[in-house]
Amino acid sequence: MKIQTIRWPAPAKLNLFLYINGQRQDGYHELQTLFQFIDICDYLTITPNSSSEITLSGAIANIALEDNLIYKAAMLLKKSAPKHLGANINVEKNLPMGGGLGGGSSDAATTLVALNYHWQLQLDRQQLAKLSMTLGADVPIFIFGKAAIAEGIGEILSPVTPTENYYLLAIPSCHVSTPLVFGDPELTRDTRKQPHQRLMQQAWENDCQTCVKNNYPEVAKIIEWLVEYAPTRLTGTGGCVFSTFNNASEAQVVMDKAPKWLNIRTTQGLNNSPLNELLSTLDQNQQNIVN
């Protein structure tokens, strides 16, 4: 066990496009979506211990401990670890719930990757991703940490390298319900699957956007304001919205015009996640010590 305290990033993601191709008999939806990370993160400060206990502190929403994805991920990994191993985890929560940024899934993925490192379990990414599927369909993308097209229910990943654009990210005050969106009879569920090359070259859309706009007037208002300045879409099932710019200065110009009611910030797309970057740094430092 590596007895050191490390502050681990749990980055947000954007769905640069999201197409729903059909609904399976088990109720899950088949989809094609493009994940890219952005430089906004939750942070988990983790100190391993030998008490076998998992403790969780910090800015945690009103969720029972056993239902918290960070705790569930830690307890899941403990099944593959010596019984005496535990960890103290402090959470800095920056990503909104119900925003379509993947905050809970990213937190769970970072927990698995970080504890695998601290506890020296030496599980590879494939093994961690397989474990994580019980926590949510989006968790594997955060474990692999590379921009990718996801298919199936989100578990089939194909790495791609979209342009690392700058974005204005708008965060509404409402919490969008994913079950409500996927249960909406008006939701588009029959978009035809397309080859990856064609997907990457066409104008992008989100099949959930109309449904969310119809049910959440605040999201509709945000989109209507931003789309006057740049291509603007919902991410995931929402409610966060992003507008795409070629550079930071273009994004800043529009941000400076934003009305006071619009909760907005600049961010950049990343094809390699901050979690991957930190792991590479830790591995390099370890190599330097060995050499």
DSSP code, position 100: S
E-strand spans in the chain?
6-23, 29-49, 54-58, 86-92, 148-151, 156-159, 166-170, 232-234, 241-245, 264-270
Please identify which of the residues 42, 72, 107, 138 carries the catalytic annotation. 138
φ and ψ of 83, to 5 deg: -60, -30
DSSP H/E element including 190: none
Q: Is 138 considered catalytic here?
A: yes
13 as an active site residue: the answer is yes
Class of residue 127 by CB neighbours under 10 A (exposed 0-12, middle 13-18, buried 19+): middle
Output phi, psi for 275, to 5 deg.
Answer: -65, -45
- Which residues are part of the catalytic machinery? 13, 138
